[in-house]
Amino acid sequence: MKFTIYQESRIGRRKSNQDRIAYCYSRDALLLVLADGMGGHLHGEVAAQIAVQFVTQAFQREARPLLHDPAMFLSRALTNAHNAILDYAFDKDLREAPRTTVVTCVIQDGHAHWAHAGDSRLYLLRGGRIAAQTRDHSRVQLMLDQGLLDAESAAHHPGRNRIYSCLGGSHPPQVEFSARIVLRDNDTLALCSDGLWGPLGDEGVLRGLSDPFVQEAVPRMLDHAEQRAGATCDNLSLIALRWHDDSAPQPGDSVSTQTMAMNDFTTQLETFEQSRSPATALDLTDDEIERAIAEINSAIQKFSK
């Protein structure tokens, strides 16, 4: 495989960054994943972290170096991530499970497969046009589909953040899967959170990524989005990938996986501040011991009734 990839996430004007992004590849398969933890909800960033981490770890386990069945992989990994978030809520005795959107894409054998829940998006750009994009699982999108709203008023609709599908939360996610899509030389795949597509719009995303160098386009687009959003700027994240045919000459900053060993992985997982996830914290402080004991005792109380 040959591709150029660049990702970046910024906090915007918020107190914490609840977006999480990662990509990971083996010799023959590539994974992109982005999650936007839901702000209004407790522990949104934990939900996003669990989602990204689960999907990446599943990929590292199963892409050896090819995934057996990419569509099945996506389905299983997202279901497992959803359940892991519920388990986290259970363990922490949270009244409500935290939530996160997710959009993730797998590429292997020259084909892309993606899946999403919520309003984080994937765009496939080809020949200066949007060749495919995900449909937001939002009320506004439903109203657009029914002709109750036009694009202009949708962009300013007060309820535009309301989504009806996500990982975590009290309802099982309604994950939407793409068909298997053949990639062509110079195709661009972009995964982004609403903090990016909101201020830029489809047009802005398309224009921004017409730049031949994704590693320059991405930071510039984030700058633009931040300027446009102003004082209320949300967390914003973008992963952009440019696909190159195996036969194409190797562009400067691109990755060629040909020489990788069968079981090797390269992973880029962005973590922020103290993105302590339940699975990664290894040492145990006195406080944590006290908390673990308190949790167990409260579970004992809860279940002995």
Partner 1 sequence: MQCDEARILPRTPMPSQANAPLPTGFQLDQYRIDRQLSLGGFSIVYLAYDEDDTPVAIKEYLPNSLAIRQEGQLEPQVPDDNLPAFRYGMKCFFEEGRSLARLMHPNVVRVMNFFRANGTVYMVMQFERGRTLHDYIHRHKGEVSERFIRGVFTRMLNGLREVHAHKLLHLDIKPSNIYLRNDGTPVLLDFGAARQTLMSDQPMLKPMYTPGFASPEQLGNREALGPWSDIYSVGASLYACIEGTAPPRSDERQQKDTLQPTTRTHTGRYSAQLLETIDWCLQLDPLKRPQSVYSLQKALMRREAGEAMPAGWFADIGTKLRSFIGRT
Q: 10 Å Cβ neighbour count for 250? A: 11
Sole window of 72-80, 182-190, 218-226, 252-260 interacting with partner 1 (rule: CB under 8 A): 72-80
Should residue 170 be labelled a site residue for partner 1 when binding is judged by CB under 8 A?
no
Residues 196-235 as x/- pattern, contact with partner 1 by CB under 8 A: ----------------------------------------
> Is 23 or 88 the residue whose CB approaches partner 1 more closely?
88
Cβ distance to partner 1 smaller for residue 232 or 301: 301
Name the minimum Å distance from CB 126 to partner 1.
33
Q: For residue 191, count other CB atoms closer than 10 A to its CB.
A: 28
Q: Does 262 bind partner 1 (CB under 8 A)?
A: no
76 binds partner 1 (CB under 8 A): yes
CB contact set of 230 (below 8 Å; sequence gap of 6+): 13
- Strand bridging mode 99-108 / 19-25: unpaired
Of positions 42, 66, 83, 177, contacts partner 1 by CB under 8 A: 83
Site string for partner 1, 1-40 (x = CB under 8 A): ----------------------------------------
Minimum distance, C-beta of residue 9 to partner 1, in the bound complex (Å): 23
- In this structure, what token pair is assigned to residue 75? 């389905």
- Write out the binding residues for partner 1, residues 88-147 only, by CB under 8 A: 90-91
Among 69, 66, 70, 38, CA closest to 51: 38
Which residue of 131, 155, 179, 293 would you call a contact of partner 1, by CB under 8 A?
293
CA distance 283 to 43: 21
Q: Is 267 in the site for partner 1 (CB under 8 A)?
A: no
Beta bridge partners of 113: 106
What element of type H or E holds 182?
Answer: strand 181-182
CA distance 104 to 81: 12
Residues 6+ away with beta carbon under 8 Å from 149? 140, 143, 157
Cα–Cα dist 202/80, whole Å: 31
Strands 29-37 and 99-108: antiparallel
Nearest distance, CB of residue 56 and partner 1, angstroms: 10
Q: Is 54 in the site for partner 1 (CB under 8 A)?
A: yes
Asked if omega into 65 is within 30° of 0 (cis), the reply is yes
Q: Where do contacts with partner 1 occur on this chain (CB under 8 A)?
A: 54, 57-58, 61-62, 75-77, 79-81, 83-84, 87, 90-91, 278-279, 282-284, 289-290, 292-293, 295-297, 299-300, 303-304
